[in-house]
Amino acid sequence: MAYKEHDNKLTRSWAKIVSWRERHIKEKNFVIILALVIGVICGFAAQLLKFLIHTIANVLTSHFSATTENYLYLVYPVVGILIVTVFVRYVVKDNISHGVTRVLYAISRRKSRLKLRNTYSSLVASAVTIGFGGSVGAEGPIVFTGAAIGSNVGQAFRLSPRILMLLVGCGAAAGIAGIFRAPIAGMLFTLEVLMIDLTGATVMPLLISSITGATVAYVLEGYNAEFFFSQSEVFHTSRIPHTILLGIFCGFMSLYFTRTMGWLEGIFSKISRRWMKIITGGAILAVLIFFLPPLYGEGYETINRLLEGNPSAVVEGSIFYVDRDSVWFVAAVIAAVTLMKVFATSATNGAGGVGGTFAPSLFVGALTGFLFAYILNQLAPELGLSQKNFSLMGMAGVMSGVMHAPLMAIFLTAEMTGGYNLFLPLLIVSTLSYMTIRMFEPYSIYTMRLAKQGDLLTHEKDKAVLTLLKIGNVIERDCMCVHPEMNLKQMVDIISRSSRNIFPVTDGEGRLKGIVTLDDIRNIMFRPDLYKKMHVSRFMAMPPTRIEITDPMEMVMEKFDKTGAWNLPVVDKGVYVGMVSKSKIFTSYRRVLRHYTDD
């Protein structure tokens, strides 16, 4: 009783604080304050995540040999996945994989509301996953963590879904900025990936959160770039043709990454038993890391070594170390690592690990650009292409294609490495990669899952508003049902008690058989001589089409447009649920549109 009374007092005290804020601080000013607070919290969260990952990885691998194979690579990833599986199943008790996709879903379908436990669950689980060798990135989890922090701070102050969406974006931006020390890229991430509109009301909070998150990182880590890059070769305009080819090549590599990831996710989703997923994914991951050690964890150390111009880094700690002086053998290993990264990433997530695809796309991009220049230099030494420069361009190219975010890829690459002098080639490669993959894949690796379900919020206002509408909120359930065996007299009695002019026809199990409208029976309903002779089965008609309860609103509107109907029945696997009318949809549409566009 004492604890309960104490909780009630805290609740009443907090309610007074919230009420005082509503009376004395304008919402726009308060959002700015919250953006700053969220930026600080998310900046520290990003630093904590990086510290945990590096600490675990260093403890486990600091004694590994660079000149021979290390058999513990076969053990660590499986142990990490087992620990995470236990944590997620018995502590978190929620699905926290695919962090960015879950944030997009929360924005589209959950009014930007994320659970309180999401503020720490992904952080802990991804630290263990990556520290033990899971071939994924920490950026997806920190986006999920940051978004959850923003959402819960907003919920605590009883803010509207429109403001919650903005605070979710602030948390995500601060998370990206904090982990990469890239404030511009953090803001662009929310615009291109989370697809939050840039308006007068959103730009300042997003900037403040992003800058604050990056500032926390600079204070704690120093002003050095995330990746060490020293541009020793100046980019000449004579390299533009090769840059164009690299951009197209990165586009196809992005397509390979995205399609293969989707294919492998489909395979793992068909494995129903949890232990079988752990064994299958863990075994694949462990074997890949044993033969190709650069696949261990995020792979940032390998990226740094490539940016230093050291290709032999890809064979260190493996059975291939003895062949490090063979140019074409090293090229083959780099190609294998590049192609196998997506398998290692999918195996990690499929087995139950927690991590994102952000770092894997950076990793694949760096190796793609390096391999492109490395092979051309071997075939035509007179070209003298800078492998370091092309590695940097590849990072921007593959990230742009995989995430469908060319601007973020350009600025993130430049901010992470300090390679601003390569801005023109970064722009060329990023743009061409994005244009190439768009010809084959309209959605990013994050949005393609939601797009298939119709749950994707986009920058197109009509589609965005329809996505925010839910079919359950527009179903009308006041239509009285009739049955095929009813006679006209019984039908007229029901009409006299109904306020609607449409009547669904259902069987004994509630399955929809047709509909009856007043227009269908207007000419016979006042003929008593037909009351016993005519039955509903004689004058009912089939509706132009049916709406499934799972149909997204965009598909619902397409059905109305194609049929020209004003009312359509809604069914759940054939069972009648209710009716949907255009007027109800338009009323809800106008309400959401006003709310969605209100700055």
**Domain-ending residue, one of 186, 221, 256:** 221
Q: Are residues 415 and 507 in the same domain?
A: no
Query: Within a domain: residue 229?
Result: no
Q: Are residues 28 and 114 in the same domain?
A: yes
Query: Within a domain: residue 428?
Result: yes
What's this model's pTM, rounded to 2 decimal places? 0.74
Residue 417 token pair: 């490495």
CA 179, 432, 202 angle in degrees (round to 5)?
45
d(CA 510, CA 113): 35
3-state secondary structure of 482: strand
pLDDT digits (tens, 9 = 90+) for 541-557: 888 888 888 877 777 87
Mean pLDDT value across the chain: 84
d(CA 541, CA 63): 77
pLDDT digits (tens, 9 = 90+) for 56-77: 999 998 888 777 778 888 999 9
d(CA 179, CA 195): 20
Residue 245 belongs to domain spanning: 237-457
Residues facing 578 on adjacent strands: 570
CATH number of the domain to which 284 belongs: 1.10.3080.10
**Domain-ending residue, one of 430, 457, 484:** 457
Q: What is the crossing angle of helices 274-291 and 327-351, to 10°?
A: 160
* Burial (Cβ within 10 Å: 0-12, 13-18, ≥19) of residue 342: buried
Query: Within a domain: residue 557?
Result: yes
Which runs of consecutive H residues, i.e. helices, occur in 455-564? 461-468, 471-474, 488-497, 518-521, 536-539, 553-563
3-state secondary structure of 476: strand
Q: Are residues 211 and 262 in the same domain?
A: no
pLDDT at 582 over 80: no
Amino acid at 129: T
Cα four-point dihedral sign 29, 34, 35, 37: positive
> Who has greater pLDDT, 507 or 452?
507
3-state secondary structure of 512: strand
Name the pairing type of β-strands 567-572 and 575-581: antiparallel
pLDDT of residue 433: 96
pLDDT digits (tens, 9 = 90+) for 85-119: 999 888 888 777 776 777 777 776 666 788 888 88
Q: Are residues 400 and 251 in the same domain?
A: yes
Query: Within a domain: residue 10?
Result: no
Query: Within a domain: residue 226?
Result: no
Q: Are residues 197 and 304 in the same domain?
A: no
Q: Are residues 310 and 449 in the same domain?
A: yes
pLDDT digits (tens, 9 = 90+) for 503-553: 899 988 889 988 888 887 877 877 888 878 888 888 888 888 888 888 777
CATH number of the domain to which 547 belongs: 3.10.580.10
* Total number of domains in the chain: 3
Residues with Cβ within 8 Å of 340's Cβ and at least 6 positions away in sequence, in order, are: 288, 292, 295
Residue 370 token pair: 């390096």
Query: Within a domain: residue 324?
Result: yes
What is the DSSP code string of 322-381?
A: GGTT-HHHHHHHHHHHHHHHHHHHHHHHHHT---BSHHHHHHHHHHHHHHHHHHHHHH-G
Q: Are residues 159 and 253 in the same domain?
A: no
Name the pairing type of β-strands 567-572 and 547-548: parallel
Q: Are residues 204 and 293 in the same domain?
A: no
Do 516 and 536 contact (CB within 8 A), yes or no? yes
pLDDT digits (tens, 9 = 90+) for 304-349: 888 887 777 777 777 776 666 677 888 888 999 999 999 999 999 8
Query: Within a domain: residue 15?
Result: no
pLDDT of residue 217: 92
Query: Within a domain: residue 271?
Result: yes
Cα four-point dihedral sign 496, 498, 504, 510: negative
pLDDT at 140 over 50: yes
**Domain-ending residue, one of 169, 194, 221:** 221
pLDDT of residue 459: 45
Q: Are residues 445 and 507 in the same domain?
A: no
Neighbouring CB atoms inside 10 A of 531's CB total 16
Q: Are residues 439 and 522 in the same domain?
A: no
Q: How many CA atoms lie within 13 A of 54 on its CB side?
A: 9
Residue 559 token pair: 């059905």
Neighbouring CB atoms inside 10 A of 540's CB total 22
Among 51, 182, 175, CA closest to 119: 175
Q: How many CA atoms lie within 13 A of 296 on its CB side?
A: 33
pLDDT of residue 107: 72
Q: Are residues 247 and 191 in the same domain?
A: no
Distances (CA, A) of 23 to 16, 18, 20, 229: 11, 9, 5, 52
Say which range, 104-108, 353-357, 377-381, 402-406, has the weakest mean pLDDT.
Answer: 104-108
Q: Are residues 551 and 569 in the same domain?
A: yes
Q: How many CA atoms lie within 13 A of 181 on its CB side?
A: 20
